[in-house]
Structure formats: structure tokens, C-alpha cells
Chains A and B, each alone.
Chain A
């Protein structure tokens, strides 16, 4: 994917609205970001998540202990392609597929890399 756009088929006339109760509820969500913790990108995610949720932590992806996600409601995994062969045996940052139960957002190529590591959908695109 190059320029990140959405392709729309339905052009429904939807009036923008704010679901106030939903916003209040969402702010109570504890979110854990797992990525290159010292990067500018991680800090940007940290600021963003703090503004909209309860930021549990920014955690380093390398050597991440899945137990650290125990107190999180949602985990964001940031695991970009880095030029290495992603089809070599990978140690997935979130541990074994069977042991992972957290609602998770896979950012960008984290979807591909997790799909390859866990044999879930997303490894063909």
C-alpha cells in the first residue's frame, strides 16, 4: 500500500456526530503500545494514546513479556517490515498464538508479520 487512502463504494450522507457516552467510555480503556519504545514514532503514539485513552505503557517490542499486557484492555503492536526475511522462523513479540487473548490492533505490517508467525489470516497480500 502506498498512499494510505480508503476506497469507498458507499457514499452515504452521514452527518458527523459525536457519540458522547461512547467517548467517555473509551477514555477509560487501558491501552498498551508495543514497538520500538525509544523511537520518535513510539513517542507520537504515546502522546496520541494518552489524549484519548488511559495509556498503560509504551513497551519495547524486543524481548517483550506478554505478561505485561495483563492490565491492558487493548494492545497495539507496532512491528514494521525491516528488510529481513519475514518468512524465516519468527519469534512473535506477543508470544504463542494459543496463549494470547488480548484484543489487539496490529499496526501496518505488524499484521503481516503476526500472520506469518501465528498462521492466522493476513499473510497473503
Chain B
């Protein structure tokens, strides 16, 4: 998707009158509303031996405030895969051809990308997100829910492999209906396990504290102020989901002070390990992270 974004207008306006129509790529699966797509060619002639570019699954980036996606491209992966997008001070220009191989649209887009990212001198990537392939990063709920939209054997296999086998086997989850029922109860308590799989955090589930909601903190801090196992458990879940907090040995007052200082700047990242992060740029500018998105994160006009 080519969004209506300033990156396509300055300093060179992308000429949308040069759109052409292409068939819906088979790799994208069934088209919902159309059998074709409108695209803007960045080269005039496809040549043998073109090196492949790189597109990124966008669903894994949606929880990062420092990410903005500008457009996709024709690819072998998914309709929603991002081709040009930004994370902090890094702009991914996924198209591989050099300027001699591009047409005017391609060169204009590259110029616009260079000029746009030049403005982001203070923003940085925030979450730590090991590759979803080599390092076996735990999947996001968006990916789980994507598998639920196609109830066939392949998608069941892919869905099952996202989890620690013993967890689903132990719950007798061997079908989509069984998984849906199980997911309704435990989906809010997922946590990364070894080898990039997902498991249920039994402690936060026992406390009925979904870690991904902001109210997690006030309830966990209140539990921290109690005694015995409940307090110890609260201490562990706070450290687990807010490792940048005051620390596992801190008192409730310390956690309250930390929460008060950071509440507006906190965001929960599944791709970043199912944990909370502080948005440093939002905190430095004293603007809630929910309101500091896209071009607003630039340091220069």
C-alpha cells in the first residue's frame, strides 16, 4: 500500500499517474475484493538476474511506536509485507535495483527516502527483536490469529509449532475449536519459551494479571505490598515484564515512583519479547508515546 504520506511528496512528488495494473500475486493467497493490484513500476524493464529485494512482515512491527510503514511491493510473501518503512533512524528501502536500473519514479522515491530519514537524528530502534527465522523468536498474537483464519492441516501444523508442545498436548488441544477455547482463556498470558516457542505464564495467569495491559502494573504493585507467596510472585512478574524497572528487589514505593515517571511512555511489545519498554524519545520530549508517532518523531522539519 502506498500511503498518503509526506515521504511521497517531498522533495519530489511521486507521480501516481504512472500506475499500472498487475494480477494479484498468487503467493498472496486468495484476493478478497479484487483480482488485480495497482502498482507503480520503479524500473522500466524486468531483467534476468535481478537480485531479490527484501520485504518485512508488517504485523510483527505494529507494536513499535518508532516504526512507520510507507508502502509495500510485489513480493512472494504477503500483501501486507512492507517494502519501504522506518524504524527510528533506520529507513528500509527494500528494493534492490541501483539508480541506473531504476526509472524516474524509482529514483525519485530513493531521493525522497534519503531526505526523509535525514530528519530523524534522535529516534532509535527501541525493542530488541531477534530475527523471526534464525533465532526462533516467539511469534506474535497477530500471527497466531492469522493462522486461525484458514482452518486447514497446513495452518494447524504451523499454529501448533508456535507453542511448546507439552502445553497444548497437556490441555488436550488438538483441533482448531479446542485451540480457540484454550486461547480465549490463556491467550492474554503468553510468554516466550525456549526455541522461540510460546508458553503460558502460569504466574500471571494465576494472578489474573494480563501482562500486556497497563493496569498490570497497579495490580502487580498492590500484590507486591502483600505478604508471602503473592508478594513474591508479584515481584517476579514485575521483573519479568518490566526488566527496565527498578528491579526485582525494589519496594512497592519504588515501583510506584517508576510507574508515575514512565506511565505515559510505556508500550508493550510482543515482537520485542512480550514485555514493556519505555519510549526514550517520548520521555525526553515529555510527549506520551501514543501521541508521538510517524513524522512527529523527526528532529528536523
Minimal Cβ-Cβ distance residue in A for B71: A6
Within 8 Å CB of A74, what residues of B? 114, 117-118
Residue pair A101, B121 in contact (C-beta under 8 Å): yes
Q: Decide if A9 is an interface residue (CB 8 Å cutoff).
A: yes
Cα distance A97–B180 in the bound complex, in angstroms: 39
Q: Decide if A96 is an interface residue (CB 8 Å cutoff).
A: no
Residue pair B111, A52 in contact (C-beta under 8 Å): yes
Q: Decide if B177 is an interface residue (CB 8 Å cutoff).
A: no
Chain B interface size band reads: 35 or more
Q: Decide if B291 is an interface residue (CB 8 Å cutoff).
A: no
Within 8 A of B (CB), among A101-116: 101-109, 111-112, 114-116
Task: Convert B117-137 into 0s and 1s, putting 1 for each residue whose CB lies closer than 8 angstroms to a CB of A.
Answer: 111110011011111111101
Residue pair B40, A123 in contact (C-beta under 8 Å): no
- Stretch from B42-50, B159-167, B185-193, B214-222 contacting the other chain: B42-50
Within 8 Å CB of A105, what residues of B? 91, 93, 110, 113-114, 117
Cα distance A16–B260 in the bound complex, in angstroms: 48
CB distance from B78 to the nearest CB of A (A): 9
Cα distance A15–B100 in the bound complex, in angstroms: 26
Residue pair A18, B114 in contact (C-beta under 8 Å): no
Residue pair A53, B54 in contact (C-beta under 8 Å): no
Residue pair A3, B74 in contact (C-beta under 8 Å): yes
Residue pair A53, B114 in contact (C-beta under 8 Å): yes
Contact partner, B54, options A14, A26, A104, A125, Cβ 8 Å = A125
Task: Convert B38-66 into 0s and 1s, putting 1 for each residue whose CB lies closer than 8 angstroms to a CB of A.
Answer: 11111100100011111111001100100
Residue pair B3, A10 in contact (C-beta under 8 Å): yes
Listed residue (B52, B72, B92, B109) with the most chain A CB atoms within 10 angstroms of its CB: B92
Minimal Cβ-Cβ distance residue in B for A39: B98
Q: Decide if B97 is an interface residue (CB 8 Å cutoff).
A: yes
Minimal Cβ-Cβ distance residue in A for B79: A7
Q: Decide if A76 is an interface residue (CB 8 Å cutoff).
A: yes
Cα distance A125–B42 in the bound complex, in angstroms: 21
Q: Decide if B11 is an interface residue (CB 8 Å cutoff).
A: yes
CB distance from A29 to the nearest CB of B (A): 5
Whether A48 touches B60, Cβ cut-off 8 Å, given contacts A6-B39, A53-B114, is no
Within 8 Å CB of A107, what residues of B? 93, 96
Cα distance A121–B81 in the bound complex, in angstroms: 12
Residue pair A1, B55 in contact (C-beta under 8 Å): yes
Q: Decide if B94 is an interface residue (CB 8 Å cutoff).
A: yes
Residue pair A1, B74 in contact (C-beta under 8 Å): yes
Residue pair B113, A18 in contact (C-beta under 8 Å): no
Cα distance A74–B115 in the bound complex, in angstroms: 8
Listed residue (B1, B113, B131) with the most chain A CB atoms within 10 angstroms of its CB: B131
Cα distance A11–B8 in the bound complex, in angstroms: 13
Whether A123 touches B115, Cβ cut-off 8 Å, given contacts A80-B51, A97-B125, A101-B89, is no
Known contacts A6-B39, A14-B16, A22-B10; 20 additional CB pairs below 8 A are: A1-B54, A1-B75, A2-B50, A5-B42, A6-B40, A7-B2, A12-B4, A13-B16, A47-B99, A103-B91, A105-B113, A106-B91, A106-B93, A108-B94, A115-B56, A120-B88, A121-B60, A121-B64, A121-B67, A123-B132
Binding site for A on B (CB under 8 A): 1-4, 9-17, 19, 22, 37-43, 46, 50-57, 60-61, 64, 67, 71-77, 79, 81, 83, 87-100, 106-107, 109-111, 113-115, 117-121, 124-125, 127-135, 137, 271
7 tightest A-B contacts by CB?
A87-B134, A123-B131, A124-B132, A108-B96, A48-B99, A22-B11, A5-B39
